[in-house]
Chain A
Amino acid sequence: MVEHLLEVRDLSVEFHTAAGTVNAVRNVSWHLDRGETLAILGESGSGKSVSASAIMNLIDMPPGKITSGTILLDGRDMLKMTAEERRLINGAKIAMIFQDPLAHLNPVYTVGWQVTEMMTTHGQTGEGAHARALELLRRVGITDPEKAMRKYPFQFSGGQRQRLMIAMAIACKPDILIADEPTTALDVTVQAQVLELLQELQQETGMGMLLITHDLGVVAEIADRVVVMNSGCIVETGNAAEVYRNPQDPYTKKLIAAAPGKGAMPEESSRLGDPLLRGVGLKKSYGAFQALKGVDFFIMPGETVAVVGESGSGKSTLARAIVRLDDPQEGQVLYRGKDLLAMTPKEMFGLRRDLQMVFQDPTQSLNPRMTVYQLISEAWVIHPDILPKAKWRNRVSELLVKVGLKPDMAERYPHQFSGGQRQRIAIARALAMEPKLIICDEAVSALDVSIQAQVIALLEGLRREFGLSYLFIAHDLPVVRDFADRVIVMKAGEIVEEGPVRQIFEAPVHPYTQALLAASLDPDPDVQAARRAARRTQEGLVFA
């Protein structure tokens, strides 16, 4: 039998919780060889991270329990090793990076100390470790490493923090790097850079890389082989390109079909008449930071306008300015010709119901102490003229059905629902107001792709039914491509490009739009390979 670098055989892990025993993974087997990248693809709750946690000895036991299986590192069963042996492997032979680098770096120690600690823990001298840390920081692209060593994690940007995590992980030249959703919290252009860095490092060191992700695009960009997981089991495994071209399992097929950015783009619609909403010269600063530097836009009745941009582009500030959650310092927001910013609170109150907002994180935006019935009917408590009290019960049921939930869920609390269901409740709540415009601030970003597709389809259906307009704020370009009529691209508080969705995606003019599109990942491995090749040629031309 061939010996692999790392091999997981028949691994089963369960968690004993108050609600009963949960089988996190059942009989999972896979292997990883030197120099290759294996992706474990799955949605939330699929158990995709569990085998990595078992490898790193990060499962708390209890409540967790490994009920069967072996994990062979160079032929030795890790599950039979002592805790001390496992500790010496962690970091030195197998290193790991995580999704949210801000939370995963210790906030009270300098990054230099944290990178150095990786090496001193595994027996290197302080001086040697310091020199190597400087070299590592330089290698992962941190400018001024001397100074960076003395800074704390909060003083870096998200992308830099992930680079620091990578520097720390590769410090002891591990044989295996496990990356758990390494780019999920990052902007697309930063994501592309981080993935490229990982690939370069892998080529330099020949390490095996295990990538855990929910994103088909990341798989297409970086993985050689892929393991697809669904509710604790492996449903399919194989060469990444083959699995994408020719999926065997129904779940894989569904997952690939749900990937956004494949649908037909709408034809340019010429909508005549007056815009529903118009922003004129909106400016907003926080101290010296200019979040909006004079933004003009409009939304026609029944139109979906997407605002795309990376973090710090001002897109969320714009959303908050429109509904006056955070008034801009200059400019006008004209709703049917009347300036919202000049209105008294009383005048504004009447219009609030026309402009509703759905936020990114429904866990935080729904009051956990209120039932679904209370959450939805609160709209009518505040605006009693919408509906007489006798009809509330029925209307809540109708709205729940409309967003794909069941009427008998009305008495439950938000925590009893999944993320996707919670976002549907948030949409039902917005619909209760019978709005004209719904502002979706990253409303589908936190959802799994299959759920994302369902929510988008729901929004689309509601638009047809009620003639709603949407202002759809997103960083995810493929989703925008499927859903929007018109796209506004923002960067550093300004609109850099604007146009019908087809024009933006097929013939982007501004270099930033082009960069955004180039950096966004296509779920098709062949497309990604072609893009990579194109990038390399371009770089080659630059350096030649």
Chain B
Amino acid sequence: MKSFIGKRAIASGVSLVVLIVIVFFLSRLTGDPTDLYLPLDATTEMRQQFREINGFNDPLIVQFGRYVTDLVQGNFGQSLRQARPAMDVVLEAFVWTFWLAVITMALVTVAAIIIGSLAAFRVGGVFDRIATFFSLIGAAAPDFWLAIVAIVIFAVKLHVLPTSGTGTVWHWVLPVGVLFIRPFGLILQVVRGSMISVLSSAYVKTARAKGVRSTAIIFVHGLRNAMLPVITVIGDQSAAILNGAVVVETVFGFPGIGKLMIDSILLRDFAVVLAVIMVSALAIFIMNLLIDLAYALLDPRIRY
């Protein structure tokens, strides 16, 4: 187990280093941030001074060397825009996104498992048809459209929910609701498919011959076996939100990591972009590890 995590960490670490190098140099290709930060009437000396302070005058390779040296010492650089450590900015935003992902995916998982399992129990029944119909629409609906429609309906027409920002519980409803729909549709389909094959398996026949109740057959005998393929998709979808639900966060003005990423790229706030990437990478690494652990937890035949 330890060596498994170790190997994983090394492989992920190598990918992260390569990614940092690529992003560092690519982002510099977008141009000099000086013009974005200084007023239009700033003098050449002021511009020169800004460049000097932020080290933009040095050759790229020297800038990279400096970045790496700082990084090794645990310094992720300064945010140009906010003039404070980049990592502080990123972690603040990450906490918002983290909770957004946790709340959304917890709701998605519970709902998709219950509805998907029940749909699988009577394949082709009314409940199954309705669930399948809506889950397919949900899985296919684009979130930018959903977000705008949701704002139009709930904020503009009905005036029941705030359109953007944070502050109250009500601010969470629209972002969570919109983010919920696609993973819910997808995961419901996976749960249903997986459950159908599990319910036709030999050990379910044994359970029926034992006189086990239908609910226990589905949720005790079936579910644990059916969860294996589902977990992978839950992991993927969680990672997608953690990585920045860019569209939804931007539309709803939600101060998460997706919005931060877009803003930092537009403002050429390089240190923040790199810090976002590192935090996301770490989150995905942990996410994948959790998926593998969940596999081993659910299926005794899987051991690392």
List A contacts of B298 (CB < 8 A): 108
Interchain CA distance A168-B202 in the complex, whole Å: 15
Whether B206 and A92, one on each chain, are in contact in the complex, defined by CB atoms closer than 8 angstroms, is no
Given A107-B299, A108-B298, A121-B213, CB of A98 within 8 Å of CB of B208: no
Interchain CA distance A106-B221 in the complex, whole Å: 7
Whether B208 and A103, one on each chain, are in contact in the complex, defined by CB atoms closer than 8 angstroms, is no
Smallest CB-CB separation from B210: which chain A residue? A91
Whether A91 and B209, one on each chain, are in contact in the complex, defined by CB atoms closer than 8 angstroms, is yes
Interchain CA distance A492-B205 in the complex, whole Å: 35
* 8 Å CB contact of A90 from B201, B203, B209, B221: B209
Interchain CA distance A91-B216 in the complex, whole Å: 15
Whether B211 and A103, one on each chain, are in contact in the complex, defined by CB atoms closer than 8 angstroms, is no
The answer to the question of A152 belonging to the interface, with a C-beta cut-off of 8 Å to chain B, is yes
Bitwise, A114-125 to B at CB < 8 A (1) or not (0) is 000110011000
List A contacts of B224 (CB < 8 A): 108-109
Bitwise, A29-70 to B at CB < 8 A (1) or not (0) is 000000000000000000000000000111000000000000
The answer to the question of A76 belonging to the interface, with a C-beta cut-off of 8 Å to chain B, is no
Whether B209 and A106, one on each chain, are in contact in the complex, defined by CB atoms closer than 8 angstroms, is no
CB proximity of A55 to chain B, nearest CB, Å: 10
Those of B194-232 within 8 Å (CB) of chain A:
201-203, 205-213, 216, 221, 224-225
* 8 Å CB contact of B201 from A56, A103, A118: A103
Interchain CA distance A104-B202 in the complex, whole Å: 5
List B contacts of A443 (CB < 8 A): none
The answer to the question of B300 belonging to the interface, with a C-beta cut-off of 8 Å to chain A, is yes
Smallest CB-CB separation from A100: which chain B residue? B202
Whether A118 and B301, one on each chain, are in contact in the complex, defined by CB atoms closer than 8 angstroms, is no
Smallest CB-CB separation from B201: which chain A residue? A103
List B contacts of A91 (CB < 8 A): 209-212
Those of B79-138 within 8 Å (CB) of chain A:
none
CB proximity of A171 to chain B, nearest CB, Å: 9
The answer to the question of A8 belonging to the interface, with a C-beta cut-off of 8 Å to chain B, is no
Whether A56 and B209, one on each chain, are in contact in the complex, defined by CB atoms closer than 8 angstroms, is yes
Whether A122 and B211, one on each chain, are in contact in the complex, defined by CB atoms closer than 8 angstroms, is yes
The answer to the question of A95 belonging to the interface, with a C-beta cut-off of 8 Å to chain B, is yes
* 8 Å CB contact of A103 from B203, B209, B221: B203
* 8 Å CB contact of B208 from A90, A92, A100, A117: A90
Given A106-B225, A107-B225, CB of A121 within 8 Å of CB of B212: yes
Whether A98 and B202, one on each chain, are in contact in the complex, defined by CB atoms closer than 8 angstroms, is yes
Interchain CA distance A305-B298 in the complex, whole Å: 47
Smallest CB-CB separation from B225: which chain A residue? A108
The answer to the question of A105 belonging to the interface, with a C-beta cut-off of 8 Å to chain B, is yes
Given A108-B299, A152-B301, CB of A168 within 8 Å of CB of B207: no
Whether B203 and A107, one on each chain, are in contact in the complex, defined by CB atoms closer than 8 angstroms, is yes
CB proximity of A209 to chain B, nearest CB, Å: 15
Whether B225 and A168, one on each chain, are in contact in the complex, defined by CB atoms closer than 8 angstroms, is no
Q: Taking each of B210, B224, B298, B300, which has the highest tally of chain A beta carbons within 10 Å of its own beta carbon?
A: B210
The answer to the question of A534 belonging to the interface, with a C-beta cut-off of 8 Å to chain B, is no
Interchain CA distance A152-B208 in the complex, whole Å: 20
Whether B211 and A104, one on each chain, are in contact in the complex, defined by CB atoms closer than 8 angstroms, is no
Smallest CB-CB separation from B221: which chain A residue? A106
The answer to the question of A22 belonging to the interface, with a C-beta cut-off of 8 Å to chain B, is no
Interchain CA distance A80-B138 in the complex, whole Å: 43
List B contacts of A152 (CB < 8 A): 300-301
Smallest CB-CB separation from B207: which chain A residue? A106
The answer to the question of A24 belonging to the interface, with a C-beta cut-off of 8 Å to chain B, is no
Whether A104 and B203, one on each chain, are in contact in the complex, defined by CB atoms closer than 8 angstroms, is yes
Whether A90 and B211, one on each chain, are in contact in the complex, defined by CB atoms closer than 8 angstroms, is yes
Whether A106 and B203, one on each chain, are in contact in the complex, defined by CB atoms closer than 8 angstroms, is yes
Whether A89 and B205, one on each chain, are in contact in the complex, defined by CB atoms closer than 8 angstroms, is no
List B contacts of A57 (CB < 8 A): 208
Whether A121 and B299, one on each chain, are in contact in the complex, defined by CB atoms closer than 8 angstroms, is no
Interchain CA distance A450-B55 in the complex, whole Å: 88
List A contacts of B202 (CB < 8 A): 98, 100, 103-104
List A contacts of B209 (CB < 8 A): 56, 58, 90-91, 95-96
Q: Taking each of B201, B202, B206, B212, which has the highest tally of chain A beta carbons within 10 Å of its own beta carbon?
A: B206
Given A88-B211, A121-B211, A122-B211, CB of A105 within 8 Å of CB of B299: no
The answer to the question of A393 belonging to the interface, with a C-beta cut-off of 8 Å to chain B, is no
Bitwise, A77-107 to B at CB < 8 A (1) or not (0) is 0000000000111111001101010011111
CB proximity of A90 to chain B, nearest CB, Å: 4
List A contacts of B208 (CB < 8 A): 56-58, 90
List A contacts of B210 (CB < 8 A): 90-91, 95, 117-118, 121, 168
List B contacts of A117 (CB < 8 A): 210, 212
List B contacts of A103 (CB < 8 A): 201-203
Whether A87 and B225, one on each chain, are in contact in the complex, defined by CB atoms closer than 8 angstroms, is no
Interchain CA distance A152-B224 in the complex, whole Å: 14
Whether B211 and A107, one on each chain, are in contact in the complex, defined by CB atoms closer than 8 angstroms, is no
Whether A58 and B211, one on each chain, are in contact in the complex, defined by CB atoms closer than 8 angstroms, is no
Smallest CB-CB separation from B228: which chain A residue? A108
The answer to the question of A512 belonging to the interface, with a C-beta cut-off of 8 Å to chain B, is no
The answer to the question of A380 belonging to the interface, with a C-beta cut-off of 8 Å to chain B, is no
CB proximity of B169 to chain A, nearest CB, Å: 38
Whether A107 and B301, one on each chain, are in contact in the complex, defined by CB atoms closer than 8 angstroms, is yes
Interchain CA distance A168-B206 in the complex, whole Å: 10
Interchain CA distance A109-B206 in the complex, whole Å: 13
The answer to the question of A156 belonging to the interface, with a C-beta cut-off of 8 Å to chain B, is no
Interchain CA distance A436-B208 in the complex, whole Å: 51
CB proximity of A391 to chain B, nearest CB, Å: 46
The answer to the question of A154 belonging to the interface, with a C-beta cut-off of 8 Å to chain B, is yes
Those of B173-209 within 8 Å (CB) of chain A:
201-203, 205-209
Interchain CA distance A92-B208 in the complex, whole Å: 12
Interchain CA distance A107-B207 in the complex, whole Å: 12
Q: Could you write out 27 A-B pairs with CB less than 8 Å apart?
A: A56-B209, A57-B208, A58-B205, A58-B209, A87-B212, A87-B213, A90-B211, A91-B209, A91-B212, A92-B211, A95-B210, A98-B202, A98-B206, A104-B203, A104-B206, A107-B225, A107-B299, A108-B298, A108-B300, A109-B221, A121-B210, A121-B211, A121-B213, A121-B216, A152-B300, A154-B300, A168-B210
Beyond A58-B208, A95-B210, list 8 extra A-B contacts (CB 8 Å): A92-B211, A103-B201, A106-B206, A106-B207, A109-B224, A110-B300, A121-B216, A122-B211
In the A-B complex, the 7 residue pairs with the smallest Cβ-Cβ separation, listed nearest first, are A90-B211, A103-B202, A91-B211, A91-B210, A106-B203, A96-B209, A104-B202
Q: Footprint of B on A, CB under 8 Å? A: 56-58, 87-92, 95-96, 98, 100, 103-110, 117-118, 121-122, 152, 154, 165, 168
